[in-house]
Structure 1
């Protein structure tokens, strides 16, 4: 037994079926927001158990919406399907299959399809259906087109403002990098602000949110080339602001699905020293730590869906054993093959020591595992609960493996 063996034995509860989540449901209590992470964007176990927990939150605790690290227009098609809107696909799989921004597999996969099919059936018996929304900031051009379509039908007098914004971005060929490179000294900020002022607070959530996406994306792309904390923080502030709008709109409780790096409180990681914030931190600060529950995931070895460069074909890659001394190596040594950790009032060293915690992105190089892919983390401060899997497997994309960016 290793250094943390006794602590792990006292904290770990075996995880075999959704009924084992009871202790986590008790910890969640009457929380208003539950943010559920993932240690990669391509692992079956993370997606499957996240969906299992979310189903219980919806059916037993009355959560009103699911908001994911995806684009608003793409997720709106899924939302219309799960709410059985007229002219929406009867099978949510059709809406998910239309995701075409790389990495498509993040949401266009069988695991999310299974959940959305369940959600559509569940909504059949609800007076107020549960919604499915996107939090992210990348869909600048798609959101501009959606705004134009909405304005033509509902507010034609505001179409010129939207056209001015659209024409300002036209020279950049729908490329965020091109805009980031060429906008100086002129930018489209003034046109975007004018459009946002016209649409902010309008009755239609989708028009207002698409305008917020355009504004957030313009800010994001202006900071993108510099990289680092400015672009990261712009994106996470946008996602946190979107979450707040959804909470206000639905008047209820919400679930967030995103990567651990967005969900786990940044203040408990090396991100804080770099000046970075994330949704988990912002949610705790805005809504109170007693009303927000952060759930992380981790695994030791297996396979994952990822690409070896941005826009490259996706493939099933090996995930090698975790590096020595990491959180994952510690849990591999002493935890059950699948386990749930929910923190007690007392904090043993496993929860207060800083340990390296694996984070796999959409771009992954297994051969670099020993040098990268880890975030120094104080586990008990970063999350409120943690799901552990010693062996993991790749999720199941809807598209064929080897697909590149559209």
Structure 2
């Protein structure tokens, strides 16, 4: 069964502009494009990000669309900068927690088959470009004592290994509770090895989901009461496994329209948990729809009703204030994996002004001063941008303002698809 993030929502170097500057895309007297042109910085040196990131504890590193080579390579460059220059040592990634534990083992120790692990990620991430991220993390960790750790920020494909880890912990630490635990744990352990198929079975075929949710809740409650030492990291991982199992069964028992808000609330909690667990600064790698500070996000998906939800980035901004910084990687047009064509941004999308202002890729700090009245109106008015690529320009995202959504944008005019690991 193919796993895509959309299922779970509803259920090398890049070419850079010369370090000496960027050429204007067109002569313009427009105050917005003129302001962008004055403040845009080339990508030859990412040190422009240092002041924008400041003392952030978590950086949301978003992307307008998944599965483009240029944005993935760009985000890898940003990861390298944040790790090597600003001391970030943890990554929370828009994919499943349980698989993430195996990928974390790989980047820490080198154990495991990288391509096989990447091949189990959501379809959009089963690419050579995403594999490069993990190859970099492994290479960095192999030569540094202060290692970078990796976690999946999602519950949406919680695999059997999470159930087995809970059983193993109880067998070691509380064998007298094992029989009680297994009475709830065994009946809900996925009976299919293909987790995508299991999701579809539970979500679409199981009519009465209440017993599954009740057993998942019983497992989590019991695990919370298991003996453990203060700051016991083995226990903390076990409890987190149980929480993802509960989130999984709860999410897919909800009406479809409610899953969006539930998912992002849990993702935000998982990123916050990972920050506390690692005691390190975290890079949250996900789509802009999750990383932006968007408490009132609205996405049109014609002909279906629009989707409205509070996203993960808005929780993180509430909890961390300016210690959560939102970096949005944006795009005007091109092609993503599918292939899916991305038409040029219409004039009422904010990317239209970005592309008109400068050629090539660039970084723009949206807090740059001074800001003329027209620029303030553009930054603080209700923003509009690309929604889900498979719906074309008819799908757009809105709600809140550009200055709410992002602290920094890194704009790429044109993109091409990533390269699948398996054709």
Same fold (TM over 0.5): yes
Counterpart of 2:12 in structure 1 is none
Report the CA distance between 1:395 and its aligned residue.
1.1
> Is 1:42–2:67 an aligned residue pair?
yes
CA contact (8 A) 2:96 2:158 kept: no
Within the candidate set 111, 114, 122, 1:92 is matched to 114
- The aligned counterpart of 2:128 is 110
Q: Does residue 342 of the first structure (1) align with residue 365 of the second (2)?
A: yes
Q: How far apart in 2 are the matches of 1:164 and 1:214?
A: 15
Counterparts of residues 70-149 of structure 1 (less than 5 Å): 70-84=95-109, 88-89=111-112, 92-97=114-119, 99=120, 103-106=122-125, 108-142=126-160, 143-149=162-168
Indicate whether 1:358 and 2:386 are aligned: yes
What is the Cα deviation at residue 105 of structure 1?
3.3
Residue 165 (1) aligns with residue 184 (2): yes
Cα distance in 2 for residues equivalent to 1:163 and 1:269: 41
Q: In the superposition, relative to structure 1, how do residues 394 and 185 fare at CA in structure 2: closer, same or farther (>3 Å)?
A: closer
Equivalences for residues 251-400 of structure 1 within 5 A:
251-267=279-295, 269-270=297-298, 276-288=309-321, 290-305=322-337, 315-343=338-366, 344-347=368-371, 348=375, 349-360=377-388, 364-365=389-390, 368-376=391-399, 378-400=401-423
- Count of aligned pairs between the two proteins: 371
| 2-structure distance, mates of 1:2, 1:169 | 63
The answer to whether the 8 Å contact 1:139/1:213 transfers is: no
**Cα deviation digits, residues 265-322 of structure 1 (max 9, x gap):** 1136447x9762111100111112x2110011211111101xxxxxxxxx32322222
Contact 2:294/2:404 (8 A) holds in 1: no
Please give the per-residue CA displacement for 1:311-351, whole angstroms capped at 9, x wherever unaligned: xxxx3232222223222222222222211111225552331
Measure, in 2, the Cα distance between the counterparts of 1:396 and 1:338. 21
In the aligned structure 1, how far is the partner of 2:420 from the partner of 2:29?
Answer: 38
Secondary structure at 1:333 match in 2: helix
Do the aligned partners of residues 36 and 95 (structure 1) sit closer, same or farther apart at CA in structure 2, a change above 3 Å counting?
same
Q: Secondary structure at the match of 2:280?
A: coil
Instruction: For structure 2, list consecutive stretches of 5 or more residues without a partner in the other structure.
Output: 1-27, 300-305
Q: Please give the alpha-carbon distance, in whole angstroms, between the structure 2 residues aligned to 1:246 and 1:74.
A: 15
Which secondary structure state, in structure 2, belongs to the residue aligned with residue 330 of structure 1?
A: helix
Aligned pair in 2 of structure 1 residues 296, 148: CA closer, same or farther (>3 Å)?
same
Q: CA deviation at 1:238?
A: 1.1
Match of 2:404, SS state, is helix
CA RMSD of aligned residues (A): 2.6
- Helix, strand or coil for the counterpart of 2:394? coil
What per-residue deviation string (whole Å, max 9, x for no partner) do you get for residues 175-234 of structure 1?
Answer: 3354345353733233222211233485314322211110111211111xx222x21121
Is the Cα–Cα contact under 8 Å of residues 33 and 291 in structure 1 kept in the other structure? Answer: yes
Alignment partners' CA distance in 1, 2:69 and 2:385: 19
> 1:98-142 CA deviation, whole Å, 9 max, x = no partner?
x16xx3332x22222222212112112332321111010112343
2:277 is aligned to: 249
